[in-house]
Amino acid sequence: MEYFDESLEMLIDSAGWLAPILFILLHLLRPFFFLPVIVVCIAGGVLFGFVEGAILSFIGLSLMSLVSYQLVNKFPKFRNSIFKLKKKVFQDRTISVGQIMILRIMPFIHFHLLSLYLMEMAKSFKEYMYYSVLGLILPAVLYTSFGQAITELPLYATVIMFILLLIINSYLGKLNETRGRSSDTIIAKEKRV
């Protein structure tokens, strides 16, 4: 990670005014280099500072959501591989938009997998991008500002943080199921009437 930060810093310094564009492109090329989102966002905070780094990370992640949508809709092989990953990781669970936003904070959850869930829930491209962009604000800000601190936390603190996120995610899932049951009850009552 340190070597990556140093080489990226040299590249950004030599790029001058093109540096922000190169950083956004790094977000788009990140999956090909097998770089986690958190690493690129941390680098953005180190290289550009908190505000500019968070904004650039947000733009890069938003563009990555757009690219994910295009990849899934235009390349059946890519779509099938993401569907297989979805079945493997989540089986046939339904997830709410709130849960997706919480899962986006967790660095070990696959970015394109969460995008697939949003695509399935959204009624249109515009709605998909709305929820996707809304769900990217928090990770861009958190990873840029606290990313380095999170990676330097002791193992027990990191585990506690992820357990808290899982509890919040579980709570949102139960809330979603409760809403689903209550709407099913309302629909059943309407059919009887």
* Residue 67: closest CA among 101, 21, 115, 126: 115
pLDDT single digits (tens) 62-116? 999 999 888 888 888 888 887 887 777 777 667 777 888 888 877 667 777 788 8
pLDDT-based confidence at residue 186 (cuts at 50, 70, 90): very low
| Amino acid in the structure at residue 9 | E
Measure the CA–CA gap between 160 and 165, rounded to whole angstroms.
Answer: 9
- Looking at residue 150, its pLDDT comes to 59
Among 29-38, 104-113, 157-166, 175-184, the least confident range: 175-184
% residues pLDDT > 70 (the chain): 77
